[in-house]
Amino acid sequence: MNTVLRYKKSLIIIIGILVLIMTLLFVLAFRNNNQQSSSKSTSNDSNSSAVISLDNNNQTSSGIKLNQPTTPQAITSEAYKNPRTDILYEELFRNSDIYIGQYVRYRGKVIQVLGDSGEWNLRVNITKDPLSTSDYEYWKDTVFIYSYSKERVIEDDIIEFTALMNGVITYKSTFGQDITLPSLTIYEHKLVK
């Protein structure tokens, strides 16, 4: 009888341990699956949250440092006064190296604002859905903007701006996913809505 009792106790302990291990494996698998699906949606969603850190020298954590003209130099130049308006987002992104140093003009919806006055970091969607009847409806195609404008913008503002093309910038999303976007610099903007 003593052996049977020990056998039952051992069996209960083994079953308890197996249930605990199975529960832990299930929790880990579920958590990993959620992180992977969040990362995929983050990389595909132009409105995804992102962490972009710049130090006081305008340098990103990935080492990108901008050597930009001053505001008066930029806005008085002929190139600034006659920016390119014919470059669609796909072209700007695909052939970004071709357009480095050129001025482009866009209208877009602000989706994220970071930084302080005169040194804003913005993410702006620059392509409006052609079926939208209002400026506040769906916009896509995100660009990253270094803004030296003193005027504050907030999320969902619609702005027009002339920008200097810097190429592309890559940074990490909050989930650790690399995000690469066209990088622009603006010195002023016009608040449309």
pLDDT tens for 136-165 read 678 999 999 999 888 889 999 999 999 999
SS3 of residue 100 by DSSP: coil
The pair phi, psi for residue 119, each rounded to 5°, is -145, 55
Cα–Cα distance measured from residue 129 to residue 170, given in angstroms and rounded to the nearest whole number? 25
Name residue 36's beta-bridge partners: none
Closest alpha carbon to 114 in 105, 101, 124, 100: 124
For residues 75-89, average pLDDT: 89
| pLDDT higher than 90, residue 17 | no
All residues at 6 or more sequence positions from 102 whose CB lies less than 8 Å from its CB, including other chains:
79, 83, 84, 164, 165
Give the pLDDT band (50/70/90) at residue 106. Answer: very high
SS3 of residue 190 by DSSP: strand
User: What's the pLDDT at 65?
Assistant: 44
User: What is the chain's percent helix, strand, coil content, to nearest 5?
Assistant: 35, 35, 30
Cα–Cα distance measured from residue 192 to residue 147, given in angstroms and rounded to the nearest whole number? 17
SS3 of residue 69 by DSSP: coil
85 and 148 co-located in one domain? yes
User: What's the pLDDT at 136?
Assistant: 63
Residue with tokens 């302080």, as numbered in its chain: 116
6 versus 186: which is more confidently predicted?
Answer: 186
| pLDDT higher than 70, residue 59 | no
| pLDDT above 70: percentage of residues in the chain | 73
Does the residue 129 lie in any domain?
yes
User: What's the pLDDT at 29?
Assistant: 67
User: What's the pLDDT at 138?
Assistant: 87
pTM for the complete prediction? 0.63
Domain that holds residue 110: 71-191
All residues at 6 or more sequence positions from 180 whose CB lies less than 8 Å from its CB, including other chains:
168, 169, 170
Closest alpha carbon to 159 in 177, 179, 139: 139
164 and 94 co-located in one domain? yes
Instruction: Please give the distance of CA 143 from its chain centroid, rounded to a whole number.
Output: 8
Does the residue 124 lie in any domain?
yes
| pLDDT higher than 80, residue 116 | no
22 versus 169: which is more confidently predicted?
Answer: 169
Total structural domains within the chain: 2
| pLDDT higher than 50, residue 8 | yes
Does the residue 110 lie in any domain?
yes
All residues at 6 or more sequence positions from 98 whose CB lies less than 8 Å from its CB, including other chains:
none
User: What's the pLDDT at 32?
Assistant: 57
Does the residue 54 lie in any domain?
no
Does the residue 98 lie in any domain?
yes
Are 173 and 42 in contact, with CB atoms under 8 Å apart?
A: yes
Does the residue 77 lie in any domain?
yes
| pLDDT higher than 50, residue 84 | yes
